[in-house]
């Protein structure tokens, strides 16, 4: 059975070699510090049995015909891309933010596309390595990281030009059994609770950079891998349980200190001409994912702002209606970019469909530049209470609770508990460590807005626009 339970996932994490460091100490993967981040991933396993989600979450492996989790699947049709986008939007609603698992889906798709292209051009055998790995990944319902972003050193220098070669992950040895790699990948989400790291290059390269053009999959607890993590969890509640307060996330520096990778897990080694292509195909896939998940964040902001306005009795005020309408437009324009990217997707030689790069980039760019504005709207409508609300313990204290209940009152018909729950949620969602994480992820995850601008310009036919202007102005060359 290729669909595993969340308990099976947690149990296999607990069996892994401890190589995770967090907040100053070495921890096992069943450490309570990781409970909330792991809950987020557990949701993606449980959702296959959720009547409202299972039709999106469960799909068929195109390799074996077995039912698998869509997070482990390849996009073998345009319909798959539509379903990916819908799945991300609906799942993010449930966890109140990033479900995290889509990164590996996008990386698997990108590796599938580019290994086939390398084989077609060079007669290598990377695509077969990838397919064998994918069968194993799907059969075990694995969770992978995307280990793409290198330390990068001086941003304007290529890997071979850096003062320290390890600032980009590179190959230090090749032998008949495999390769040995050294370097680190930064910002790696889910690092402490993935089964596998999926490593891909972060940029285009030139001939001198051939040793840095490397891609592979490696068990997260393999020898000589160290995962240094920063854990962020929603604020725990005492009695006022809420779904949002059960989730979290962890990002990490993943250090590869002479790590051996057997050939059958290597997907690129030295083919520098394809490094940029792999980075770009991943970016296109992942920015398409953002066209599903970012509208979900806007939906949460929008719904929460609308509820706060309703409870405050100002929902019909014209400035509120106007601001909420703007949020609706932001969410739906980003989503529409994703639909356009799927509708114009290209079938690659591997059979995998890649979303149209232009529209993935326009959607992701628009999401990135609006994220702080969206929080601004919610902040403005909610008023100051989310930042000043007394701790839950003071609501539970019989000496102070009744005062707090009395003075949170809005209209007579709205019970104090509903107000307490809403404003405490807004506090956790906008004014906490999780909020800060989510805002930074909203700007930089999948590539900073400047990278999407580069993506838009890269293939854009500006000359054809000049021709239009020349035609209308009567200019003849
Ligand atoms: C919450 C979060 C989660 C993430 N998760 C992952 C993950 O799981 N896996 C992963 O691989 N990555 C992940 N990332 C990394 C993300 O893709 C990068 O943060 C992003 O690509 C920007 O890279 P950087 O942070 O190194 O910033 P920098 O490269 O330092 O860029 C900062 C700014 O410098 C400027 N700049 C940078 N390079 C150039 C240049 N060559 N020319 C001109 N200007 C330049 C731009 O203005 C840019 O916005 C995550 C990031 C965040 C914030």
Per the CB < 8 A criterion, the answer to whether 284 and 360 are in contact is: yes
User: pLDDT band at residue 82, thresholds of 50, 70 and 90?
Assistant: very high
Q: Quick check: CB of 441 below 6 Å from ligand 1?
A: yes
Taking only the tens place, the pLDDT of each residue in 356-411 is: 999 999 999 999 999 999 999 999 999 999 999 999 999 999 999 999 999 999 98
Taking only the tens place, the pLDDT of each residue in 128-148 is: 999 999 999 999 999 999 999
Residue 48 alpha carbon to ligand 1 centre in Å: 33
Strand partners, 109: none
- pLDDT higher than threshold 90 for residue 185: yes
Determine the atom of ligand 1 nearest the C-alpha atom of 185: 11
Domains of the chain: 278-465 (1.20.140.10)
Mean pLDDT of 458-465: 94
What CA–CA distance (Å, rounded) separates 59 from 13?
25
User: pLDDT band at residue 66, thresholds of 50, 70 and 90?
Assistant: very high
Mean pLDDT of 144-167: 97
What CA–CA distance (Å, rounded) separates 184 from 257?
8
Taking only the tens place, the pLDDT of each residue in 245-279 is: 999 999 999 999 999 999 999 999 999 999 999 99
- Specify the pLDDT at position 93: 98
Q: Quick check: CB of 440 below 6 Å from ligand 1?
A: yes
Count CB-CB contacts under 10 A for residue 388: 10
Count CB-CB contacts under 10 A for residue 223: 12
Nearest CA to ligand 1 atom 47: 450
Determine the atom of ligand 1 nearest the C-alpha atom of 189: 8
Q: Quick check: CB of 149 below 6 Å from ligand 1?
A: yes
Contacts for 316-324: CB closer than 8 Å, 24+ residues apart:
320/381, 323/377, 323/380, 323/381, 324/377
- pLDDT higher than threshold 90 for residue 459: no
Q: Quick check: CB of 25 below 6 Å from ligand 1?
A: no
Residue 202 alpha carbon to ligand 1 centre in Å: 10
The residue written with tokens 């003071």 in the block is: 394
User: pLDDT band at residue 477, thresholds of 50, 70 and 90?
Assistant: confident
Residue 223 alpha carbon to ligand 1 centre in Å: 28
Q: Quick check: CB of 103 below 6 Å from ligand 1?
A: yes
Q: Quick check: CB of 146 below 6 Å from ligand 1?
A: yes
Residue 441 alpha carbon to ligand 1 centre in Å: 10
- Specify the pLDDT at position 25: 97
Average pLDDT score over the chain: 97
What DSSP designation does 247 have? -
User: pLDDT band at residue 1, thresholds of 50, 70 and 90?
Assistant: confident
Listing DSSP states for 52-73 in one string gives TTHHHHEEE-TTT--EEEGGG-
Residue 213 alpha carbon to ligand 1 centre in Å: 19
And the tokens for 323? 């601001």
User: pLDDT band at residue 426, thresholds of 50, 70 and 90?
Assistant: very high
Residue 414 alpha carbon to ligand 1 centre in Å: 44
Taking only the tens place, the pLDDT of each residue in 97-108 is: 999 999 999 999
Helices marked H in 73-125: 78-95, 102-122
State how far Cα 265 lies from the chain centre: 23
Nearest CA to ligand 1 atom 28: 155
């Amino acid at each position: 059975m290729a669909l595993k339970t969340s308990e099976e996932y947690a149990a296999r994490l607990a069996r892994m070699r401890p190589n995770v460091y967090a907040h100053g100490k070495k921890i096992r993967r069943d450490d309570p510090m990781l409970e909330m981040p792991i809950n987020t991933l557990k949701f993606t396993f449980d959702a296959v049995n959720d009547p409202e989600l299972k039709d999106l979450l469960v799909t068929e492996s195109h390799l074996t015909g077995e039912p698998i989790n869509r997070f482990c699947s390849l996009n073998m049709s345009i319909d798959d891309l539509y379903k990916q986008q819908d799945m991300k939007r609906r799942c993010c609603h449930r966890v109140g933010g990033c479900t995290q698992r889509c990164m590996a889906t996008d990386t698997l798709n990108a590796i599938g596309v580019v290994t086939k292209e390398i084989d077609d051009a060079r007669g290598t055998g990377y695509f077969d390595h990838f397919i064998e790995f994918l069968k194993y990944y799907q059969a075990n319902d694995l969770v992978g990281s995307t280990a793409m972003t290198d330390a990068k050193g001086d941003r304007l220098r290529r890997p071979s030009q850096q003062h320290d070669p390890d600032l980009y992950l590179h190959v230090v040895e090749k032998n008949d059994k495999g390769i040995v790699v050294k370097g680190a990948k930064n910002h790696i989400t889910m690092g402490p609770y993935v089964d596998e790291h999926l490593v891909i290059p972060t940029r285009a390269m030139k001939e001198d950079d051939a040793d840095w053009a490397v891609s592979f999959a490696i068990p997260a607890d393999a020898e000589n891998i160290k995962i240094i993590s920063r854990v962020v969890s929603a604020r725990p509640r005492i009695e006022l349980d809420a779904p949002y307060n059960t989730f979290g996330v962890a990002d990490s520096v993943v250090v590869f200190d002479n790590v051996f990778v057997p050939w059958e897990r290597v997907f690129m080694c030295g083919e520098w001409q394809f490094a940029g292509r792999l980075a770009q195909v991943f970016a296109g896939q992942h920015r398409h994912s953002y066209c599903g998940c970012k509208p979900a964040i806007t939906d949460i902001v929008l719904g929460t702002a609308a509820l706060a306005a309703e409870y405050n009795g100002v929902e019909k005020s014209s400035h509120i209606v106007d601001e909420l309408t703007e949020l609706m437009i932001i969410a739906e324009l980003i989503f529409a970019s994703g639909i356009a990217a799927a509708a114009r997707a290209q079938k690659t030689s591997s059979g995998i469909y890649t979303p149209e790069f232009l529209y993935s980039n326009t959607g992701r760019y628009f999401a990135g530049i609006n994220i702080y504005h969206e929080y601004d709207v919610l902040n403005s409508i909610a008023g100051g209470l989310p930042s000043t609300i007394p701790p839950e313990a003071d609501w539970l204290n019989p000496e102070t609770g009744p005062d707090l209940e009395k003075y949170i009152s809005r209209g007579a018909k709205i019970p104090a508990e509903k107000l307490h729950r809403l404003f405490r949620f807004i506090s956790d969602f906008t004014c906490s460590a999780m909020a800060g994480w989510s805002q930074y992820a909203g700007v930089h995850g999948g590539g900073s807005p400047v990278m999407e601008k580069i993506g838009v310009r890269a293939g854009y036919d500006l000359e054809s626009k000049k021709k239009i202007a020349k035609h209308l102005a009567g200019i003849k060359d």
